[in-house]
Structure formats: structure tokens, C-alpha cells
Amino acid sequence: MLTREPAAGRYALGDLTVNRIGFGAKRLGKDRDHATRLVRRAIELGVNHIDTAAWYPTYADASHAMHDSSALHWANEIIREALRPYSDEVVIATKVGPAEDGLARPDQLRGQVETNLRTLGRDHLDLVYLRQHGLHSVTEHFAALAQLRQEGLIRHLGLSNVRLHHLAQAQAIAPVVAVQNRYGVDFGRVNDEMLGVCGSQGIAFVPFFALAATGREIGGVAHNGAVNAFARIHQASPAQVRIAWTLSRGPHVLAIPGTGDLGHLAENMDAGILVQQPELAALGTEE
């Protein structure tokens, strides 16, 4: 049950409405009880959009191997333990595509969807992103997911790590409700065009690496002098500033910050109060 009015507002993922600050489940930590409490606390603080994947190596942190196979399925299992039976208000988004030997073939995507269904303990998935890598055309892969959508296993479809021509290819097959690409203060103007196209078409844009920036998989919050100075002036954390900056890029932008810390979780949820600060936009200008 949601307990707070979201400072950053809401946006629609197809026929599902989510609060613009959600929760990324990639860095829950290794303690099962703590991770379960963290997910439940996220819901108490107003999260109704959780981003996950069956292949997340969620034990990982900056001092850990980032692809520890013993951690696979951990995020989905924790979400299931914390939230089942699921409220109709909570939207779970997941991703398929990556496989142990590279990118899954189109005929392997059904198995990945079924793995997400099983590990999450659900009879359908609210939103499934096709996470592509190295494809010129996503047509065959997206068509395979569109078939699963027709069968009722998937409610809505999205794309991740894509370019504009991938979006057009997918839209020729089925509606795309969200695009998840790297985006943040430190990435310059990478993906600005995609962000604009999504906004004009009513598609949610969901940045990843918004906190870690160029550090990417090592996690944590990237150091940036301008961000840190803004944070000091406004008595905020650098993570809050980064989240607020991405949200300020358009009403269709959704944030999915991840953390294994209950205090940081609460801070992240309050980042929306900074969105209206006029000097925020200047943080993302290229040097």
C-alpha cells in the first residue's frame, strides 16, 4: 500500500501509472532479510515501479566480481519474498536478452520470460524490455516478445540499450511503452535525441547508470564537482541531485535508483523536491 504522495509526480506505462521515482533491484546486497526489508520499505516510501532482471548478479558491489553466477535470480527471488501476493498498484519491469554466451536467440526469449515468471512468482509480467547488444535489427527478437504479449504472458513491451532505428523497427511490430538507455549528468548529450523522441511519442524514458555514470558497473555515486557543489548549497546528497537532474529532463523520464542502504533509499525518494531548482539544468551542459 502506497503511503506518500510522490514529489516527482507520476507517468503512464501503457495503462499502468507509476511514480516517477522507482527502485532498481540490482544492488540489494547479500543479506536476504535485509534485502527483503529494503524492498518492502521502498513500497512504504511510495515506490510502485521496481526494475529487475532474472540475470542480475545482485550480490555484486565494487569489491565483488560483477558476474557471480551464484547471485543470479537473487533480485527476483527477493522481490517475490517481499511482495507476494502482489498489489495491483505495484509494477514490476524486467529485462530479457543477455545470456551466458552473449545475446539470446529469438527462440530463447520464451525461456527467459518463463524464468522471470517463475522466479518472481507471477502469471504475467507487467513490462518486459528487450535488452539488445550489437544487433542492427531487433525485429526478430521483438517479434518473439510480441507473440508472448499476445499470449498474455507479457502486458507491455520496452527496449533497452537501443538506438532510434531500433525503436522504429519495434514499433512496426507492437507498441513500445518505455526505453531504457544510459543517461546522466556525466554522459554529455548522449541519448538526448532518444529522450526527445520518447517524450514526443508519450514513451517513458528510463535512464540507467544515472548515479554511477561513467563508472557504470562498479556502482556507487560518481564524483562530479558541479553536482557536489549543488548538493552542498541545497543541503542534499549527490545522489539526490543526480536523480533530480534526470527527472528535470522531461515529465516522461522515470528514475530507478538502486541501493542496498535503507537511509539512501529514503534520500533517493525525496529527490523530487529538487527538480524545480532553476540552476539544476546547467549541471548537464557539456564542458
- As a whole number, the mean pLDDT across the chain is 88
What are the pLDDT digits (tens) for 133-164? 999 999 999 999 999 999 999 999 999 999 99
Burial track 31-60 (b if 16+ CB lie within 10 A, e otherwise): eeeebbebbebbbebbbbbbbbbbbbbbbb
Domains of the chain: residue spans and CATH: 10-276 (3.20.20.100)
pLDDT at 287: 43
Share of the chain above pLDDT 70, in %: 87
- pTM (whole model) above 0.85: yes
Quick one: which of 20, 80, 8, 75 has its CA closest to 48?
Answer: 20
Give the pLDDT mean for 246-260: 94
Active site members: 56
Give the pLDDT mean for 77-86: 96
pLDDT at 285: 62
Distance CA 145, CA 149 (A): 6
67: confidence class by pLDDT, cuts 50, 70, 90: very low
pLDDT at 8: 77
Q: What are the backbone angles phi and psi of residue 109, rounded to the nearest 5°?
A: -70, -30
Give the pLDDT mean for 100-113: 94
